[in-house]
Amino acid sequence: MSRPSDERLIAYLDGELGEDERAEIARWLEQDAELRDRAAQLSESAALLRAAFDETLHEPVPERLLAAARGEPAAVVDLAAARQQRWRRVVGDRRWWAGMAAAASLGGLLIGGGLGYFAGSDPQLHGGVQPVASTEPPPGTFDATIAGYHKLYVNAGPEDTARFDVPAGQKLPQDFRVPNLKPWGLTFQGVRFLVVGGQPATQLFYTTDNKALGPITLVIGKTTEPDLAGKPGQSGDIHVLRWRHNGHAYALAGSADLGYLWNLHNDIAYQLDAI
């Protein structure tokens, strides 16, 4: 066999060759330092290319796309797009936002925290942008959004270690309080920053060995809407239980039955003084 061409070498690196040809190229690589260098270069540029686009996988998916995937009307999609773009201009980058979150404390999880940031109450933090969601989206849309975010991260799978902005065990803002749901058999896995209703929100992710109950996600954001007692909803096979208290909106999501979510809601509300 003559010296492998770049095309064969690339196919070899991609694992696309048959056994015989693979062995032949392996022999060439053993004896040809120049070919080894070429293979290393090609591998490195491929790794760089993957790294260049990996962050897209871990960005929050814009609501307009979740809405489009659910087949919602164009008007809703366009509004969400406009909100998303405005938010992008202000926020720029999730890391910056994460830093801001650490500095400003996390909405409903504050212990005596004074600065809310979810609803644009601080014009300096929000670059003068006014809250865009003066009215709450229709309940079906909200439930579907929460359920969509729930599925998105459940489907990401445990091997996707970058799916959390702050994994469990890593340092959280000093006044960040995570509801302890261990008595329910739920283990906290991490925090993810999202955009819901055009506003930043925080998603807490819990898993359990009991597949009938988990995983469970809890989304917390700020709202200008009045308090609301627990209200159940459903999107596909995901149950959503939402409530509002004292300027914060909460939504529990999971495939567990509503009775279970209701009990969790009571416990979380008690722990966070959110009822």
CA distance 234 to 212: 16
Closest distance to other proteins from the beta carbon of 197 (Å): 18
**Under the criterion CB under 8 A, does residue 122 sit at the interface with other proteins?**
no
**Under the criterion CB under 8 A, does residue 155 sit at the interface with other proteins?**
yes
Preceding omega of 215 cis (within 30 degrees of 0): yes
CA distance 56 to 42: 23
C-alpha count within 13 angstroms, C-beta hemisphere, residue 233: 22
Q: Which range of residues in 4-12, 119-127, 130-138, 189-197 is near other proteins by CB under 8 A? A: 4-12
Closest distance to other proteins from the beta carbon of 89 (Å): 8
Token reading at 92: 């720029």
**Under the criterion CB under 8 A, does residue 85 sit at the interface with other proteins?**
yes
Indicate the residue among 23 and 49 with the shorter CB distance to other proteins.
Answer: 49
What is residue 45's three-state secondary structure? helix
Residue 49 main-chain phi, psi, to 5 deg: -60, -45
Of 158, 250, 168, nearest in space to 209 by CA = 158
Q: What residues from 30 to 59 belong to the interface with other proteins (CB under 8 A)?
A: 41-42, 44-54, 56-59
Q: Which range of residues in 19-27, 93-101, 166-174, 194-202 is near other proteins by CB under 8 A? A: 93-101
Closest distance to other proteins from the beta carbon of 139 (Å): 18
**Under the criterion CB under 8 A, does residue 151 sit at the interface with other proteins?**
yes
DSSP type of residue 113: -
Cα diameter, the chain:
76
Cβ neighbours of 238 (radius 10 Å): 21
**Under the criterion CB under 8 A, does residue 82 sit at the interface with other proteins?**
no
Q: How many residues bind other proteins (CB under 8 A)?
A: 48
Q: Give the x-and-dash track for 242-261 against other proteins (CB under 8 A).
A: --------------------
Dihedral sign (CA 123, 126, 127, 128): negative
Tell me which residues touch other proteins (CB under 8 A): 5-7, 10-11, 14, 16, 41-42, 44-54, 56-59, 61-62, 64-66, 68-71, 77, 81, 85, 88, 92-93, 95-96, 148, 151-152, 155-156, 236-237
